[in-house]
Amino acid sequence: MDLFFTKAYATACTTLNCYIGRVDSIIINPLIEFLFALAVVYFLYGVFEFFTNQDNDEKKTTGKSHMLWGIIGITIMLGVFTILGIIVRTFNLQDDVDPATSTVDLGS
């Protein structure tokens, strides 16, 4: 997962079908990476809030809540990636699926 380095793919899309086929690499994958980064930042904000407000129990509880929801978000996204990886390996699709270009070769 490249959170900070973007990859550029040069293809000549001239039809609407080409753009629709690439919607996952253009929109969905960056959105998933953004949400994963957001969950990590939310967790770290909760840690910061928890440790900087040791004298205020209400803010400590808020920090704990932020940490919990950040962990839940991270766990859900890692679970999705794990399940997709298991499916790809179970059906032996490693050679047919190219996540870098978001293409799937189903054979003819």
Q: How many CB atoms lie within 10 A of CB 49?
A: 19
What is each CA distance from 58 to 42, 43, 81, in whole angstroms?
18, 17, 35
Number of domains in the chain: 1
In a domain, 11, yes or no: no
In a domain, 67, yes or no: yes
The answer to pTM > 0.75 is no
In a domain, 18, yes or no: no
Q: Which residues form the domain of 55?
A: 27-99
- Amino acid identity at 88: V
Cα 80 to chain centroid distance, Å, stands at 9
pLDDT digits (tens, 9 = 90+) for 43-92: 999 999 999 999 999 999 999 999 999 999 999 888 887 887 788 778 77
In a domain, 104, yes or no: no
In a domain, 7, yes or no: no
In a domain, 89, yes or no: yes
In a domain, 41, yes or no: yes
In a domain, 86, yes or no: yes
